[in-house]
Amino acid sequence: MNDEAIQCLKSMLEIDPKNSEAYERLGYIYEKQNMADEAIQNYQKAIEFNPNLQSNYISQGFMYFTKNMDDEAIECLQKLIQINPKFVQAYERLGYVQQMKNMTEEAMEYKKSY
């Protein structure tokens, strides 16, 4: 099933290489298959072609975190907060990543924000 979906999405991208939704769906499929590198790449493409689609930043940040790429996760989530300072989930995720990285003071600042 996932292989068929991947093929279908890749075919869509051959027709429309800037289709951010196709990249987002590919990222999601790869995320569910624990293929973090592929998920990150596709979320990045989705962000590139539609930087206002906020869910991609959350997903990409999570994938960075699962690969112990905490600095990249933090940067990704901070970008999202710049785009939408009212996106509570971004503050929650950012605070969590910072807490896991023993950045307690920074985490508390973001936790106060939401």
CA 85/CA 14 separation, integer angstroms: 35
Q: Model confidence over 38-60: pLDDT tens digits?
A: 999 999 999 999 998 899 999 99
Q: What is the predicted pLDDT for the residue at 106?
A: 60
- 92 token code pair: 């929650």
Please give the mean pLDDT across all residues of the chain. 89
Q: Looking at 66-75, 80-89, 96-105, which range is the least confident one?
A: 96-105
Across the range 22-36, mean pLDDT stands at 95
Query: Do residues 72 and 43 make contact, with C-beta atoms less than 8 angstroms apart?
Result: no
Do the beta carbons of residue 98 and residue 74 sit within 8 Å? yes
CA 79 to centroid of chain Cα atoms: 11
Q: Is the pLDDT of residue 113 over 70?
A: no
| 111 has a pLDDT exceeding 60 | no
CATH of the domain at 76: 1.25.40.10
Question: Which domain does 89 fall in, by range?
Answer: 2-113
Token digits for 64? Answer: 């960075």
Taking the model in full, what pTM does it have?
0.86
Total domains, the chain: 1
d(CA 7, CA 70): 31
Alpha-carbon distance 13 to 64, whole Å? Answer: 24
Q: For residues 19 and 17, give the distance between their C-alpha atoms in angstroms, rounded to a whole number.
A: 6
